[in-house]
Amino acid sequence: MLKAQSEANPVKAEAGQKTFQLVNPDFMTSPHTGMTRKHWKDAAHYLLTGAFSYVKTLDDPMVFPKQPGKSYPRDGVHTNTEMLEGLCRTLFMAVPLLKENPNLEINGIKVAEYYRHQLVRLSDPTSPTYVKPRSSNGGPSQILVEFGGLAVSLFYVPEVLWAPLTPTQKETLAKTMLSYGDGPTIASNWRFFNIFVMSFFKEQGYRVNEKLMLEYVDKSLEQYRGQGWYNDSPAYDYYSMWAFQMYGPLWSEFFGKKHYPEYAAKFMANFKEVNDNYPYLFGRDGKMIMWGRSIAYRFAAAVPFPLMGLAQEPGTNYGWMRRIASGSMLQFLQNPDFMAPDNIPTLGFYGAFEPAVQIYSARASVFWMGKAFLGLIVPEGNPFWTEKENEGAWEKELDKGKVYNKFQEGSKILITDYPNIGAAEVRAWCHETVAKDWQLFRSTENYNRLSYNSAFPWQADGKNGEVAMNYVFKNKKNEWEALRLYTFKKFEDGIYYRDVVLETSDNIKLNLADITLPNGILRIDRNISTEASQVRLGHYALPQKNGPIKEQSRKVKGHQVRIIDNGEYQLAMVSLTGWDGMETVKATGLHPVSQESSVINATGSFQPQQQAEVYATLMLWKKSGEKWTDDELVPVKKLEHSAKDKTVTVAFRKGEKKLVRFE
């Protein structure tokens, strides 16, 4: 076994290499990002160069320093599974480059020769990277995941990675990979790992378990819920879109159209529906929302956009699709915290951020983001690369001063766009107890926020009740407990309804109603608990940027208003009814963007009464430097609560009315 490299002495990045540099940007073709297909290849090369800084000889495995924290290997001893991740995941950056330049060298290493050598070593019992074939009673594992990814890469450049191997080497590798592919899996996007392994070897003339392969194809298609979204059993997150909507089209392109055209047609029909809503999940500048597990894979979420170049769906705005994908890529590649001094991207969102890390990740796991570069399968002359970059709907249909909601009936996902600040927001599934969440991610902040916004990455909860974009209650253990057991009710008249109950007490429950506004959110929530408790509600949090976050308190039209400003954005919280007070809470080490952050919390002490307590709260935002009018801070003129009818009538100052109907 290899001992982990000392975290105290990481490999130093070359001077000037820490942040990706755009060389000769093309602002004629891409006026917003400067990125063309060549720059995508440059980005793949940049990431691959960092990985190859750990390779001095063909025998050296792709193994990187462990990031302190919950990622594996927790004992600091590198394992063959971790090395397999490094090998298979870095290949996603390598295969598009090898397709066009099979003689590629990095750091004096012939890249194609290195990967072929390492593939052979997977079957060598004397190698530290040796992978045993799956035992007859072996279950699904991380090895299956990596072999699924490897099969995708083999499909991409078989002439470079597969054809040069000897018949014996091929036979041995096929036996090992098929032992995992022809086996059990997890009822989620994992089925594609089996599908790709079996499909690749069938294409190469091997006998495979075709019955099982097609069973997994059928079950994958059964997970489709419409509007581009698959259910990832049980969650909805980026996997529900980018994973399914990358695997389906690639499988169809590599294999399905030739062997199973009907299945390929179904996957491609589902893929064509991505166009209608997924682009709206990204900010005007292409920024993706920090949402769901495996967020360290970052811009892998953008891979469906280049693959639209394969679908050739009439009416596709390829210039907008490329603007989103390139913008999402640059969101991370040009963030100074993304690449650690050891040449490997952090496990986190920008810098290392432990609350967003899952126990199934190792340091090499980050290179799953390299799947974005599989979009380079789309050739140079394709309209995805040639159409002039534009901002699509943000230019033509999303007007400032308004708010836009897109509701997906099948998945119950609500996507909201805010033209005033160019941000996107999402509300989606969360219903997982901590008690049953042995991997500790589906019950956490990765999923349990009331909403997620591209401008305001989520802040982790603190032990002292610090909370952002959620409610916390003081439970029987005298600990602050966040809500996570949500049940979607309906989306009606622009209002998104959910019910929620506290995991540790069925007596604490709320009816929730979200009303999106041009500058934020109006929450109308009924506390229908039968148990007394202390309660807090948090706005989005702001990271400290340049200097301390400014705070101010105002009284506007009889209501308490709190505002915080970090020089980029300002957030305002307004208590309309139900709350005892508000406070600005400073936090350290809870935010993914900076060590110091601030959030406004509304506070209350609930006592069961004859009728439900209504919490009416405005959570507003503007860019820093913009002035607030009183009507912007308090756009609500009057609230009328009917306990009998379970309704709240909201009268806005501009004359509009909303009837919130809890049923």
pLDDT digits (tens, 9 = 90+) for 328-346: 999 999 999 999 999 999 9
pLDDT digits (tens, 9 = 90+) for 257-280: 999 999 999 999 999 999 999 999
Percent of the chain with pLDDT over 90: 95
Question: How many domains does the chain divide into?
Answer: 2
Q: Are residues 367 and 412 in the same domain?
A: no
pLDDT at 2: 41
Residue 27 falls within a domain, yes or no?
A: no
Band of residue 8 on the pLDDT scale cut at 50, 70, 90: very low
Band of residue 437 on the pLDDT scale cut at 50, 70, 90: confident
Q: Are residues 160 and 298 in the same domain?
A: yes
Residue 8 falls within a domain, yes or no?
A: no
Residue 613 falls within a domain, yes or no?
A: yes
49-74 burial, b at 16+ Cβ within 10 Å, e below that, comes to ebbbbbbeeeeebbbbbbbeeebbbe
pLDDT at 611: 75
Which residue range forms the structural domain that includes residue 560? 404-661
| Dihedral angle of Cα 582, 588, 589, 594, to the nearest 10 degrees | 90
d(CA 490, CA 497): 5
pLDDT for 9 beyond 50: no
Q: Are residues 163 and 120 in the same domain?
A: yes
Averaged pLDDT score across all residues of the chain: 95
Q: Are residues 452 and 433 in the same domain?
A: yes
pLDDT digits (tens, 9 = 90+) for 615-648: 999 999 999 999 999 999 999 999 999 999 999 9
Residue 491 falls within a domain, yes or no?
A: yes
Residue 223 falls within a domain, yes or no?
A: yes
Residue 17 falls within a domain, yes or no?
A: no
Q: Are residues 288 and 421 in the same domain?
A: no
Q: Are residues 525 and 470 in the same domain?
A: yes
Band of residue 411 on the pLDDT scale cut at 50, 70, 90: very high
Q: Are residues 248 and 387 in the same domain?
A: yes
pLDDT for 11 beyond 70: no
Q: Are 129 and 83 in contact (CB under 8 A)?
A: yes
Closest of 348, 383, 428 to residue 594, by C-alpha: 348
What is the average per-residue pLDDT within 530-551?
96
Q: Are residues 557 and 438 in the same domain?
A: yes
Task: Choose one of 348, 375, 395: the last residue of a domain.
Answer: 395
Q: What is the CATH number of the domain that holds 562?
A: 2.70.98.70
Band of residue 661 on the pLDDT scale cut at 50, 70, 90: very high
Residue 168 CB contacts under 8 Å (≥ 6 apart), including other chains:
none
Q: Are residues 269 and 305 in the same domain?
A: yes
Residue 57 falls within a domain, yes or no?
A: yes
The DSSP symbol for 305 reads H
pLDDT at 302: 98
pLDDT for 313 beyond 70: yes
Band of residue 107 on the pLDDT scale cut at 50, 70, 90: very high
Residue 96 CB contacts under 8 Å (≥ 6 apart), including other chains:
41, 44, 156, 373, 374, 376, 377
Pairing, β 596-606 against β 647-652 = unpaired
pLDDT for 222 beyond 80: yes
Residue 4 falls within a domain, yes or no?
A: no
pLDDT for 7 beyond 60: no
Task: Choose one of 355, 377, 395: the last residue of a domain.
Answer: 395
Q: Are residues 364 and 451 in the same domain?
A: no
Q: What is the CATH number of the domain that holds 274?
A: 1.50.10
Q: Which tokens is 281 given?
A: 């999940």
Q: Are residues 535 and 616 in the same domain?
A: yes
- Cα 404 to Cα 223, 409, 489, 540, 623, distances in angstroms: 28, 16, 20, 19, 19
Residue 296 CB contacts under 8 Å (≥ 6 apart), including other chains:
345, 346, 347, 348, 349, 356, 357, 361, 365, 366, 368, 369
Q: Are residues 417 and 378 in the same domain?
A: no
Task: Choose one of 395, 419, 452: the last residue of a domain.
Answer: 395
